[in-house]
């Protein structure tokens, strides 16, 4: 064999070995999902919202990877063939639909987000995939009928009593990962007669009367209150609230029979005790209320460490303040009056002093006295004759 061909043959052999190894390597095992309802099976109630536990094993876990897994409740058009899968070209709103919900950790429980371990979005997730690809979350199925919106904004009602619905898992944040795509059917069952009518002797509610029922009368803080409402106007918007707005869910669209179903979140920082669940119809104005008991809350009931001030003490304090203000005003007015009187007295004393000084000055001046006036009048009065000149005695004597 030509020595120059040996390197080429070795390279070709290495390529064949690599290809054969890649072909022989097993594909990632398909994930398995288990749905557990209140009765321990993959079933939900036709009459109200149902809280279920969804667990998965054998999924692909990518440390520090972007994305994760969305766990949804909805419908697929090809459950057996798998053409609905996003990795196979499936389009949401056409090949599969699901119950919409907020993409946040504190949503209503209709959909869940599982992050890969160490992912930058792990803090916003409802859970994290383990290294072996296992996970478990709790979520809510609102009922057999739900409305879904596609990318074009069209809203379509899905009736799971006529089509096959179940739990979907797909890649999160737009990442298409065939290894983490699955569909697990969920069946719907009607409530037993004893559950549907706990009091057979009680009269049925009249038409148009709204009602609300809860799955459990006692719930734990941090969980959800699964409820159902009836008697609303078909198609109207209904809002459910806890304690008048502590938390809320909606608006929910009433079904053909005027029914709604959902789960109302219960915050962890809530006080223990009785709380009020209220359903309010936007169109009919109907209001339905019921009470639930919450346990395990971390909030403490506020207590006053100091005794409350009695009303009479407050009134007395205000009266004292008013009296003090009146006394201050009176003192100011009195001071002003006294100051004015003092100024007037000083002015009077000044005028009197000037007059006395003038009288004294007139008595001490001879030219201005009364005697001088008489002498002056005798010497220069109008009836007086001029005085004769005195004879010159000295001249006559000398002669």
Q: Write the DSSP assignment of 277-313 as a string of letters.
A: EEEEETTT--EEEEEEEEES--PPPP--SSPPPPHHH
Measured CA to CA, the distance from residue 181 to residue 168 in angstroms comes to: 7
Half-sphere exposure of 70 (CA within 13 A, CB side): 24
97, β-bridge pairs:
75
Separation of alpha carbons 93 and 89, rounded Å: 13
In the chain, where the domains are located: 26-189, 208-295, 311-353
pLDDT, one tens digit per residue, over 181-232 is: 999 999 998 765 444 444 443 343 444 588 888 878 888 888 888 888 888 8
Each residue of 262-301: pLDDT tens digit?
888 888 888 888 999 998 888 788 899 999 999 987 765 5
Q: Hey, do 26-189 and 208-295 end up sharing a CATH topology, with the first three levels equal?
A: yes
Residue 92 gets which letter from DSSP? B
The residue to which tokens 């220069």 are assigned = 380
**Which pLDDT belongs to residue 41?**
92
Structure tokens at 269: 């920082």
* Whether CATH 2.60.40.230 fits 26-189: yes
pLDDT > 70? residue 370: no
Residue 386: which pLDDT band, with cuts at 50, 70 and 90?
very low
* Residue linked to tokens 């596609």: 150
Provide mean pLDDT across the span 59-70: 92
Q: Which CATH superfamily is domain 208-295 in?
A: Macroglobulin (MG2) domain (2.60.40.1930)
Cα Dmax for the chain: 203
Lowest mean pLDDT among 256-260, 291-295, 341-345: 256-260
Structure tokens at 77: 């058009």
Q: pLDDT tens digits for 75-134?
A: 999 888 889 999 999 998 889 998 877 777 777 788 899 999 998 888 888 899 999 999
């Amino acid at each position: 064999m030509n020595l120059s061909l040996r390197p080429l043959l070795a390279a070709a052999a290495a390529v064949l070995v690599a290809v054969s190894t890649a072909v022989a390597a097993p594909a990632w095992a398909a994930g398995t999902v288990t749905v557990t309802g209140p009765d321990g099976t993959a079933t939900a109630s036709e009459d109200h919202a149902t809280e279920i536990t969804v667990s998965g094993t054998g999924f692909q876990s990518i440390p520090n990877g972007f994305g994760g897994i969305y766990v949804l409740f909805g419908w697929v058009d090809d459950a057996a063939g798998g053409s609905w899968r996003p990795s196979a070209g499936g389009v949401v709103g056409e090949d599969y639909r699901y119950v919409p919900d907020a993409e946040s950790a504190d949503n209503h429980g209709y959909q869940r987000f599982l992050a890969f371990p160490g992912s930058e979005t792990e803090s916003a997730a409802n859970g994290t995939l383990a290294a072996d690809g296992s996970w478990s979350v709790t979520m809510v199925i609102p009922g057999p009928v739900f409305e879904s919106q596609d990318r074009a904004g069209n809203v379509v009602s899905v009736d799971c009593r006529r089509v096959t619905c179940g739990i979907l898992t797909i890649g999160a944040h737009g990442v298409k990962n065939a290894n983490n795509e699955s569909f697990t059917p969920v069946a719907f069952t009607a409530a037993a007669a004893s559950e549907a009518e706990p009091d057979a002797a009680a009269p049925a509610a009249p038409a148009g009367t709204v009602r609300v029922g809860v799955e459990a009368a006692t719930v734990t803080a941090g969980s959800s209150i699964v409820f159902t409402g009836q008697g609303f106007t078909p198609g109207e918007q209904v809002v459910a609230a806890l304690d008048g707005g502590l938390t809320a869910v909606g608006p929910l669209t009433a079904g053909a029979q005027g029914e709604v179903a959902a789960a109302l979140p219960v915050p962890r920082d809530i006080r223990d005790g009785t709380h009020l669940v209220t359903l309010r119809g936007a169109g009919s104005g109907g209001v339905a209320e019921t009470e639930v008991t919450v346990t395990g809350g971390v909030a403490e009931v506020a207590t006053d460490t100091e005794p409350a001030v009695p009303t009479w003490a407050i009134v007395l304090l205000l009266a004292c303040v008013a009296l003090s203000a009146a006394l201050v005003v009176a003192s100011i007015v009195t001071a002003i009056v006294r100051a004015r009187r003092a100024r007037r007295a000083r002015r009077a004393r000044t005028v009197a002093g000037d007059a006395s000084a003038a009288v004294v000055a007139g008595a001490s001046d001879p030219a201005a006295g009364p005697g001088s006036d008489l002498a002056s009048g005798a010497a220069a009065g109008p009836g007086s004759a001029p005085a004769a000149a005195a004879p010159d005695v000295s001249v006559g004597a000398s002669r």
